[in-house]
Amino acid sequence: MKKARTVFVCKECDYQSAKWLGRCPSCGAWNTFEEETYEDTTAEPEKKTARRLFLSGQNEETEPQLLDYENLPAYLRTDTGMVEFDRVLGGGIVAGSVVLLSGEPGIGKSTLLLQICNSIAKTKKVLYVSGEESVGQISLRAKRLSVKSENLYVLTETDAGKIIKHCEKQKPDVLVIDSIQTMFHEDSTSIPGSATQIRECASIFINKAKTDGTSVLLVGHVNKEGSIAGPKVLEHMVDTVLYFEGEQRQNFRVIRAMKNRFGSTNEIGVFEMTDVGLREVENPSEALLADRPVGVSGNCAVCVIEGTRPIIAEIQALATATIFPAPRRMTAGIDYNRMALILAVLEKRLGLRFSGSDVYLNVIGGLHIDETASDLGVALALISSIRDIPIPDDVMCIGELGLSGECRAVSRLDWRVKEGARLGFRRIFVPARGAAKCQVPDGVKVIPVKSVFDILSLLAPEKK
């Protein structure tokens, strides 16, 4: 017997309640409840099978097995034709895996996937399903990106059940769903984009991947807080979660793995948006430093490690006299609290006064830095800006700052120094600990720094 049942579900944690609540008692999030209608059924055999299918990946009864290293299944990986994307995935798309690619509107998700489909379609069959754009629109984009392939099929459809039927007919090796928020399943009565619909549709596509080895790429929208729209459980269900990020107005785009069942989550892929699509940036440091200002105060080069790659970025600081009772502090590409900490250290240990200044901090090129090895560079950029003395452009800074103003050791110093030398930095400030062991390339001077006092000499011409 079927009857409709209305419940309110928290988008964040799937907590259910009979009435609407402003705050979720389970996860504490505000305003996350959505109304959903279920066909409440006491016994629904198909659904149960679907659940079992999803869990085990096969239809037969399951048996516990001995853990065994001898007969390991090999991951069948397919190169996507984009080295930067493969790197983030850990070496290509795994057969039967489900990847969720999310990002801000207009960042280039559809563009990237269409380009990837194009190169995969050279060897495999690909079905690209869009719930947002017509075949005409997709073809226009394909023309602009010069995407053309015999094995690439496009389909405009939002009904998950129909998509699966098409898959059964066409048997694609790779299925792209753009986007999961536009999909619906007819058994579920709630609107597309609601938590239930997203969960249902995702489990249908995941089930497809796990039963016949189709690789599935899902596009996910983000909400205004920047996390993936829909239930949090979506991120648990898929194998890999990728974030596509970048500043809309700047051309650099970075892909990061937030979760990866088949590889590390440290690697990033760097792309540049051009009018013929996304171009891979093999040499991010060079690209990021390409238009660095010279001879202007407040700029300092730093080096961060992203996965297995050192990347050099330019920090820009601007400290100007404030007109506000509470001075403004703003950051882009760097953690706000980290800046507050560094400002506090500079005020306390060096007696510099930032309390009368607005302070802006920016990473050139739209890169997001979350490694503390950039602290010393941030400190130097701030000092340079407040004193209005430019930092020589052959200087790079590596080191983490402690609360007493001491400079702490960082990992992989060799890599960073080598990358700095490669890009023409001749004076590299490094943490005193580890400096002695560091291999110094020819023509480079490595200057050990014990505390933030040591970098001051660089900006104090009067002492020389």
Residues in contact with ligand ATP by CB under 6 A are: 103, 105-111, 132, 144, 273, 275
Write down the least CB distance from residue 278 to ligand ATP, Å: 9
- Residue 351's binding partner, choosing from ligand ATP, Zn ion, Mg ion, none, with beta-carbon cut-off 5 to 8 A by kind? none
Residue whose C-beta lies closest to Mg ion = 110
Q: State which residue, 11 or 210, has the beta carbon closest to Zn ion.
A: 11
Q: What is the C-alpha R_g of the chain?
A: 26
Residue 10 binding Zn ion, by CB under 5 A: yes
Write down the least CB distance from residue 111 to Mg ion, Å: 8
Write down the least CB distance from residue 351 to ligand ATP, Å: 46
Write down the least CB distance from residue 132 to Mg ion, Å: 6
Residue 182 binding Mg ion, by CB under 5 A: no
Q: State which residue, 114 or 452, has the beta carbon closest to ligand ATP.
A: 114
Residue 7 binding Zn ion, by CB under 5 A: no
The count of residues in the chain is 464
Q: State which residue, 13 or 76, has the beta carbon closest to Zn ion.
A: 13
Residue 8 binding Zn ion, by CB under 5 A: no
Six token digits for residue 68: 């065994």
Write down the least CB distance from residue 222 to ligand ATP, Å: 9
The bridge status of strand 33-41 relative to strand 2-10 is: antiparallel
Spatial distance between the Cα atoms of 188 and 100, rounded to a whole number of angstroms: 22
Find the part of the chain contacting Zn ion (CB under 5 A) among 14-22, 296-304, 305-313, 401-409.
14-22
Write down the least CB distance from residue 227 to ligand ATP, Å: 15
Residue 110 binding Mg ion, by CB under 5 A: yes
Residue 331 binding Mg ion, by CB under 5 A: no
Q: State which residue, 107 or 281, has the beta carbon closest to ligand ATP.
A: 107
- Residue 275's binding partner, choosing from ligand ATP, Mg ion, Zn ion, none, with beta-carbon cut-off 5 to 8 A by kind? ligand ATP
Write down the least CB distance from residue 26 to Zn ion, Å: 5
Q: State which residue, 56 or 274, has the beta carbon closest to ligand ATP.
A: 274
Write down the least CB distance from residue 246 to Mg ion, Å: 15
Q: Are 88 and 269 in contact (CB under 8 A)?
A: yes
Write down the least CB distance from residue 279 to ligand ATP, Å: 12
Query: Residues 8, 17, 21, 27: which binds Zn ion (CB under 5 A)?
Result: 27
Write b or e for each residue in 419-439: b if 16 or more Cβ atoms lie within 10 A of its Cβ, otherwise e: bbbebebebbbbbbbbbeebe
- Residue 98's binding partner, choosing from Mg ion, ligand ATP, Zn ion, none, with beta-carbon cut-off 5 to 8 A by kind? none
Query: Residues 8, 17, 21, 26: which binds Zn ion (CB under 5 A)?
Result: 26
Point out which residues bind Zn ion (CB under 5 A). 10, 12-13, 15, 24, 26-27
- Interface residues toward Mg ion, by CB under 5 A: 110
